[in-house]
Structure 1
């Protein structure tokens, strides 16, 4: 199940608010206008778009909106629940046969798990199942990398175009040295492009690229657990052994047994209170 990743919009909003507070605390509302310059925005955004058009194919650029959308969502798959699912599937497969798992497919939302169970039901060898599902993980990583690389390049290009805009502004300023009164305002305008490029890179593009990379790693990790679970079910492993094997992936997180013990403790506590 996918949910909104609230930390991403909170982080962007908080960063923007801190910048605006810094501006307002020193210049007041009247000074905010001095931080806005249309020409500087054109240089940074126009140069950034131009660089992306040169660097990537149109098909890749069409993925930008989808990639940015992924930065605001997260996979809410809990590992203890995932392990519990495979334990139940293993128990049913040993009790009623592997073909009985087809009846459970409608209750499973994850397409990757469904595919693995279907391969197991079809009697595919564990090694072949591993190869097929691992190939899908590799393809997913490649897709994610292509989309993420656009955001990473934006983080690289934005500060550079900010500096280019500053250099343009400095050239124009030096051509008007005969008017000393204009040097200060012209220098401020020249520096705005560097400000815009740096803020875009460090508040949006670079954090989002890192966010997407971490989410890809988490998704790959979960899919690897799914592969182990499917192979365990297909090969008829003992449910308890399969549970212990998959619990090794938790690495400090709450295990399935811990959840069961917590539930039993709660029930025992209620029983004592009633007594």
Structure 2
């Protein structure tokens, strides 16, 4: 087996083992924007309902079952169970802020310091205590003397794999956002059929009930799509972009360590990467 194939296979095995156990997401506290956004959505809906009349006029069990039940059934048909569970875990993660990578950078700089002092054994012990699987693998490859090209190939594969997994989670909610208005339309058609059937009988109460299902089903579909599912998908996509950016910063640090740069150089480079981006065209 070629050296690149061997190292790639070694990189994949930890990934497969990690996928078989629950993943723990580092949290930097509650994501305030998510909580405020959801509360704002509830207040907006409550304001509309109260302003236009009795809030109970906007509650219809049949319409809600048609829309929400249809979305759930569509998700079960379209996705596998593990994909649904992964998407639900991602939904829980949007309520937490990413902890950042300050801790990982400190560990990276410490390993660079030990390697600069030729303390290989201490560096290996430090690497063994690192909690970030990405950073641990990268530094272990450095200790093993992996060529830079092979190291880049393996670590970029890990980044792409994470991005693909999290993109699938966002795609789950975008699919639900597409399904919800369709089932709202289904509820509308079902309500209109019931309404038209009762027109000949002259039963105004049943006609009104059918009209309520028709109108509220559409409302539920639009609300679920635009206030729930689409914002969740966007939030997950933004979270993935931040995580990919942080992994790329760590990868740059790993490459600096592999090239034998000192701890001071690694620390300064990491601090520069962490600084907020600025306009590279003008100072205005």
TM over 0.5: yes
Residue 189 of structure 2 contacts residue 214 of structure 2 at CA under 8 Å; is this kept in 1?
yes
CA distance in 2, matches of 1:127, 1:245: 21
Distance change (3 Å), C-alpha of 1:32 and 1:22:
same
Structure 1 runs not aligned, ≥5 long:
255-275
Q: Which has the higher contact order (CA 8 A, sep 6+)?
A: 1
SS in 2 for 1:175: helix
Residue 93 of structure 1 contacts residue 99 of structure 1 at CA under 8 Å; is this kept in 2?
no
**CA displacement, residues 104-152 of structure 1 (integer Å, 9 cap, x when unaligned):** 2355332211111111112212221111111111111221122222111
**Residue in structure 1 matched with residue 233 of structure 2 by the alignment:** 209
Residue 192 of structure 2 contacts residue 214 of structure 2 at CA under 8 Å; is this kept in 1?
yes
SS in 2 for 1:9: helix
Is 1:152 matched up with 2:177? no
Question: 1:77 offset after TM fit, Å?
Answer: 1.0
Is 1:2 matched up with 2:24? no
CA distance in 2, matches of 1:189, 1:47: 15
**Residue in structure 1 matched with residue 45 of structure 2 by the alignment:** 19
Is 1:224 matched up with 2:252? no
Question: 1:243 offset after TM fit, Å?
Answer: 4.2
Question: 1:8 offset after TM fit, Å?
Answer: 1.7
**CA displacement, residues 201-245 of structure 1 (integer Å, 9 cap, x when unaligned):** 112111011100111111111111111111211220244443454
CA distance in 1, matches of 2:138, 2:33: 32
Which portions of structure 1, spanning 4 or more consecutive aligned residues, are displaced by more than 6 angstroms? none
SS in 1 for 2:88: helix
Which has the higher Rg, Structure 1 or Structure 2? 1
Q: Counterparts in 2 of 1:1-275, with a 5 A limit?
A: 1-3=26-28, 4-27=30-53, 31-78=54-101, 82-105=104-127, 108-178=130-200, 179=202, 181-182=204-205, 183=207, 186-250=210-274, 252=276
Aligned residues: 250
Residue 2 of structure 1 contacts residue 74 of structure 1 at CA under 8 Å; is this kept in 2?
yes
Output the TM-score relative to the length of structure 1: 0.80
Question: 1:251 offset after TM fit, Å?
Answer: 5.5
Q: Please, what is the CA RMSD of the aligned residues?
A: 2.5
Residue 141 of structure 2 contacts residue 151 of structure 2 at CA under 8 Å; is this kept in 1?
yes
CA distance in 2, matches of 1:119, 1:106: 13
